[in-house]
Amino acid sequence: MANPREKIASCDPVWSTMRSEAEGMAEREPALAGFIHATVLQHARLEDAICFHLANKLGNDDISPMLTRETFEAALAGDASIAAAMRADLSAVFERDPACHSYLEAFLYYKGFLALEAHRIAHWLWQQDRKWMALFFQSRVSQLFSVDIHPAARMGRGIMLDHGTGIVIGETAVVEDDVSIMQDVTLGGTGKEAGDRHPKIRRGVLLSLGAKILGNIEIGEYSRVGAGSVVLKSIPAGCTAVGVPAKLVNCAGSERPSQEMNQIIDEQDNKI
């Protein structure tokens, strides 16, 4: 008969691995042992740990950490897809970021990951017509993590917000699965539209640092936007666009830009 640890590993390998990482960290850094036990090891599930961790960060004198935690637990109980997306996001950070050496590192300290998981809860609140509470958490995330995602924005799974600082995602934006977004990226409106006015980022896209994508346009799946580019028109699938305003430079590029994380546009890319 399998022991409890083996059962956990078989049904939730991300959580099992993270617990093992936490045990090792607590042994190596005794000063952090209390923090690690409270944040990770005392919890039976990854869902419980993320609710505790985020609540301690986002709760304040306006809404206590305890009430914040209860709100987050209600969200995860109300929508099982949040927990599945969270595991995919955690795996995305670990697999794509060369500076990340463990699930635990991303879970504890990466504000892009934490901001995204807080958004998932705010989005659930928004859909439950608890808009004021959703906006409260959006504001807290913006204050603490410098990431501003409107609660109505729709985010897929397996997304990496690298560093997170300066990322802005507007109300009607859509970001599909397996997208990587670097710091200081904006998915915004042009200021001229009403209604559906923000970009649609399709599966597998890489948005390099400082990119600005403006208006109700589509960034086709597995495409790439160069650093500092300003995109005002839709980009076809599989293409690379750079410049201000952005122009297509290659439509025979990487098959997996969001995983490869290559932000360098060299001379060989300039094929069209």
pLDDT for 136-181, tens place per residue?
Answer: 999 999 999 999 999 999 999 999 999 999 999 999 999 999 999 9
For position 196, which CATH number holds?
A: 2.160.10.10
In the prediction, which pLDDT does 251 show? 79
**Domain closes at, from 80, 114, 147:** 147
For the residues of the chain, what is the DSSP string, one character each?
Answer: ---HHHHHHHH-HHHHHHHHHHHHHHHH-GGGHHHHIIIIIT-SSHHHHHHHHHHHHH--SSS-HHHHHHHHHHHHHH-HHHHHHHHHHHHHHHHH-TT---HHHHHHH-HHHHHHHHHHHHHHHHHTT-HHHHHHHHHHHHHHHSEEE-TT-EE-SS-EESS-TTEEE-TT-EE-TT-EE-TT-EEE--SS--SS-S-EE-TT-EE-TT-EEESS-EE-TT-EE-TT-EE-S-B-TT-EEETTTTEEEESS--S-HHHH------GGG---
Q: Predicted confidence band at 195 (pLDDT cuts at 50, 70, 90)?
A: confident
Of 28-37, 59-68, 78-87, 193-202, the poorest mean pLDDT is in 193-202
251 and 178 assigned to the same domain: yes
Of 8-12, 47-51, 230-234, the poorest mean pLDDT is in 8-12
What's the pLDDT tens digit per position in 114-129? 999 999 999 999 999 9
1 and 135 assigned to the same domain: yes
For position 71, which CATH number holds?
A: 1.10.3130.10
Number of domains comprising the chain:
2
139 and 180 assigned to the same domain: no
63 and 118 assigned to the same domain: yes
59 and 30 assigned to the same domain: yes
206 and 186 assigned to the same domain: yes
**Domain closes at, from 108, 125, 147:** 147
Domain that holds residue 30: 1-147
7 and 140 assigned to the same domain: yes
143 and 168 assigned to the same domain: no
**Domain closes at, from 147, 168, 203:** 147
24 and 121 assigned to the same domain: yes
Statement: residue 10 has pLDDT above 90: no
- Global pTM reads 0.90
Statement: residue 271 has pLDDT above 80: no
